[in-house]
Chain A
Amino acid sequence: MKYTEEHEWLRPEGDIVTVGITKHATTQLGDIVFVELPEVGATVSKGDEIVVIESVKAASEIMAPLDGEVTEVNTDLADNPALANEDATGAGWFFKIKPSDPSQMDECLDEDAYNALIG
């Protein structure tokens, strides 16, 4: 698993990468009550704001961690946003992306680097 400084996790499987936000992020955000996901088939660029998360406290945006095409979104999460709090790296995943430049994965943080980031 790889991570970004924006507290996303990326799990590559074949040529598809599943993306969510870390337990640390969901703890900081508090109870998540609404998630707006991108459209399947959308072509996105790294840094595009493609997900909106609303917690009881505030709205936050999640950026595309890689260039690529969104191949699937977690419709269960849209119906039950609390999944992101309950199982951040499992059932609370956000979307799957097919990277157009898989080498961008190398720019992501490994687990040690991410853990160092969040102290």
Chain B
Amino acid sequence: MGEPLRTPLHALHVELGARMVVFAGYEMPLQYPMGVMQEHLHTRARAGLFDVSHMGQVILRADSTAAAAEALETLVPVDVAGLAEGRQRYGLFTDDSGGLLDDLMLANRGDHLFLVVNAARKAHDLAHLRTLQGVEVHEITDRALLALQGPAAEAVLADLAPEAADMRFMDVATLTLEGAECWVSRSGYTGEDGYEISVPADRAEALARRLLAHGDVAPIGLGARDSLRLEAGLCLYGHDIDESTTPAEAALGWAIQKVRRRDGARAGGFPGAETILRELADGPARRRVGLRPEGRAPMREGVPLYAGADDDTPVGRITSGGFGPTVGGPVAMGYVPAELAAPGTVVHGELRGKRLPLTVTALPFTPANFKR
């Protein structure tokens, strides 16, 4: 692996007193002196600034954006061709067996498509995209990526660029922030309203400092990013979804628009289409669900799940779990057989040799707060 990489905000993180950890090959802030719990609550109450520069930023160009969209549709089961200019959509890379190679954001920015992929899957996804004929794949390495999340995000960003307030959830726009050309989307990974901001690397620190100077904004580390996305019911690649999980199993069928489904105008045509579309029509054998452990003890990734308290054979496992600061108790996600997936169903997790009940719960655990 070699030395861990640093983002353009590394010096700022250290100055702010962050505890740094290596994540996906990057030195990233795990938490600041405020601590994970308060960082989480601050983001839900006001606004948090996250450095997500480790994520991959990719531009796709072809003879036309329509041609790039058509090509990308061979790798993702998503309506890319129908994505209007200035709009963003959640997407999935699938494999021939219907498994998930990564999840991503894709945006139509007029003369090109702009993708944001997971840090740990960057090299894989770039190689995968480079199999597309007639598509130029350009990895952006000279930009940082910031996320400003929380109910105060709109007012904070509108101070720098009033147009920010006019954007709706999943809009993308080019805004000038602190004199820098930024590619902004109204989206995030917390369940809160907010923005993700691609900023030239040499302007990232100045922009971050400007945003942090606002009394409502605090720096937030990866620890709270994880608890926020877990409460929001959002998947973490490599944990809640991977090659062994399909879109229907992962409860991500909503990401596959009608036009790509059976009887759609552009049905199929992506890896694993037969399996994926059959499962969407007939229902999967197992399903990702929200789980609320009874009591206070968190149940984390890897905890086996049993249908009955005394059963010998597990029927599923927890894929993400921890303490939800806004919920005020433990929360988890995991896979259970379809017949156990209805909210209210009680399953049992084994924690330190004891079987403890968990209740299947509708996701998200905390209501989403998007600006539609």
Contact = CB atoms under 8 A, between A and B. Distances in A.
Interface of A: 30-31, 33-34, 36, 52, 54, 56-59, 81
A33 B323 contact: yes
Given A56-B223, A56-B227, 16 more contacts: A30-B36, A30-B37, A30-B223, A31-B38, A31-B325, A33-B323, A34-B296, A34-B297, A34-B323, A36-B297, A52-B352, A54-B297, A54-B298, A54-B323, A57-B223, A58-B300
A22 to B, nearest CB: 17
Contacts of B297: 34, 36, 52, 54
B227 A81 contact: no
Given A56-B323, A56-B325, A31 B298 contact: no
B354 to A, nearest CB: 10
6 tightest CB-CB pairs across the interface, nearest first?
A31-B37, A33-B323, A56-B36, A34-B296, A34-B297, A54-B298
B253 interface: no
Contacts of A34: 296-298, 323, 330
A56 B296 contact: no
Interface string B110-153: 00000000000000000000000000000000000000000000
B299 to A, nearest CB: 10
B296 A57 contact: no
A57 B322 CA distance: 8
Interface of B: 30-31, 35-38, 223, 227, 296-298, 300, 322-323, 325, 330, 352
A104 to B, nearest CB: 26
Given A34-B323, A52-B352, A59 B36 contact: no
A30 B325 CA distance: 13
Contacts of A36: 297
21 contacts: A30-B31, A30-B36, A30-B37, A31-B36, A31-B37, A31-B38, A33-B298, A33-B323, A33-B330, A34-B297, A34-B323, A36-B297, A52-B297, A54-B298, A56-B36, A56-B37, A56-B223, A56-B322, A56-B325, A57-B30, A81-B296
B7 to A, nearest CB: 21
Contact of B300 (A30, A31, A59, A81): A59
A57 B36 contact: yes
Nearest to A27: B35
A56 B30 CA distance: 12
A58 B36 CA distance: 12
Contacts of B227: 56
A34 B37 CA distance: 13
A29 to B, nearest CB: 10
Contacts of A54: 297-298, 323
Contacts of A58: 300
A37 B23 CA distance: 33
A52 B30 CA distance: 23
A109 B352 CA distance: 30
B92 to A, nearest CB: 29
Nearest to B295: A34
A28 to B, nearest CB: 9
A16 to B, nearest CB: 27
A33 B35 CA distance: 13
B292 to A, nearest CB: 14
A34 B38 CA distance: 16
Contacts of B322: 56
A81 B352 CA distance: 19
A31 B41 CA distance: 13
A37 to B, nearest CB: 12
Residue among A34, A36, A52, A56 with the most chain B CB within 10 A?
A: A56
